Amino acid sequence: MATQFRWYLSEGGLLIFTDTTLARNQLSKELSMELFQASKQWATRADEERFTSLVDMHKHFETLRAQSRELVAVSTKLEIRPTEDNKGLELYGPNGIGYAPTHWAFGQIAQRAEAPAGYLRTLPAPIAADAINYGLQFKRNIDEVGVLLHKTEDGVGTVRAMTGPKYGRVWNRDVTKALLERFGDGITGKFRVPGEWGKAVTVTKANTTMYASDEDMFVFLVDEKNRI
């Protein structure tokens, strides 16, 4: 007799269970956690981090990828400087062009400088810059770091990440491409943004379950006609 299997694709990967009571209990637990995460994301995401279709999300990440570049730099050749109004910081390399770090990237830069990011954020920009530069220049051995830069069409540059030089990056564009190929646009196919009480609804930024920021991405789709 062939063994019966159930499968479920969760944030942690593909879960496969034999059809036993233990498996059903574990599957129920995993589903409950995913539903909790979906509810949390819906309640906390900012409007600009909400997408109404996988097509729109993919276009967003296609543009982001085209405007981004990765490079490896020697940490001692990098310098943090305060902005002209002393209200922010920018990262400069040998080419003399400044890039403002995102909140996420600032934490990574502070970690490289062996300085607490939370404390640095409370300091005046010139003092915070001096503390980071001291860490990058003197507290570490001369080493290489990976930097992810982004520049918009109007020339606004940001540092989106600072990692190790061999960091393996999976671009969100590649993830959304795979989702499009597997599930379609997320609003008209078999798997879609969940409706209300099993009825399809027009997907808006208020009820969508597709979210993304500069540091993460969350997509929650369901097949309401074939429920587990």
Last residue of one domain, picked from the residues 163, 179, 197: 163
In order of 22, 102, 117, the CA distances from 107 in angstroms are 41, 9, 5
Least confident of 11-20, 58-67, 130-139, 167-176: 11-20
Give 167-172's long-range contacts (Cβ < 8 A, gap of 24+).
169/70, 171/61, 171/65, 172/61, 172/64, 172/65, 172/212, 172/217
Q: Which residue has the higher pLDDT, 26 or 129?
A: 129
Per-residue model confidence as pLDDT tens digits over 77-99 = 999 999 999 999 999 998 999 99
Query: Which range marks the domain in which residue 11 is found?
Result: 1-31
Compute the distance between CA of residue 132 and CA of residue 110 in angstroms, rounded to an integer: 6
SS3 category, 196:
strand
What integer is the mean pLDDT of 192-213?
Answer: 84
pLDDT the model gives residue 9: 45
Last residue of one domain, picked from the residues 121, 144, 163: 163
Q: Which residue has the higher pLDDT, 105 or 194?
A: 105
**Band of pLDDT at residue 222, cut at 50, 70 and 90:** confident
Compute the distance between CA of residue 128 and CA of residue 20 in angstroms, rounded to an integer: 57
Which of 22-26, 142-146, 208-212 holds the top average pLDDT?
208-212
pLDDT the model gives residue 17: 40
For residues 75 and 123, state if they share a domain: yes
Task: Confirm whether 207 is domain-assigned.
Answer: no
Task: Confirm whether 114 is domain-assigned.
Answer: yes
75 pLDDT more than 70: yes
Taking the model in full, what pTM does it have? Answer: 0.75
What number of H helices and E strands is found in the chain?
Answer: 6, 10
Task: Confirm whether 139 is domain-assigned.
Answer: yes
> What percent of the chain clears pLDDT 70, i.e. is strictly above it?
80
Task: Confirm whether 97 is domain-assigned.
Answer: yes
Last residue of one domain, picked from the residues 143, 163, 183: 163
pLDDT the model gives residue 149: 96
Residue with tokens 């995913």: 34
For residues 13 and 72, state if they share a domain: no
pLDDT the model gives residue 98: 95
Task: Confirm whether 7 is domain-assigned.
Answer: yes
For residues 71 and 27, state if they share a domain: no
Task: Confirm whether 185 is domain-assigned.
Answer: no
The count of domains in the chain is 2
For residues 99 and 144, state if they share a domain: yes
Task: Confirm whether 100 is domain-assigned.
Answer: yes
Task: Confirm whether 141 is domain-assigned.
Answer: yes
For residues 92 and 150, state if they share a domain: yes
pLDDT the model gives residue 13: 40
For residues 90 and 140, state if they share a domain: yes
Q: Are 10 and 34 in contact (CB under 8 A)?
A: yes
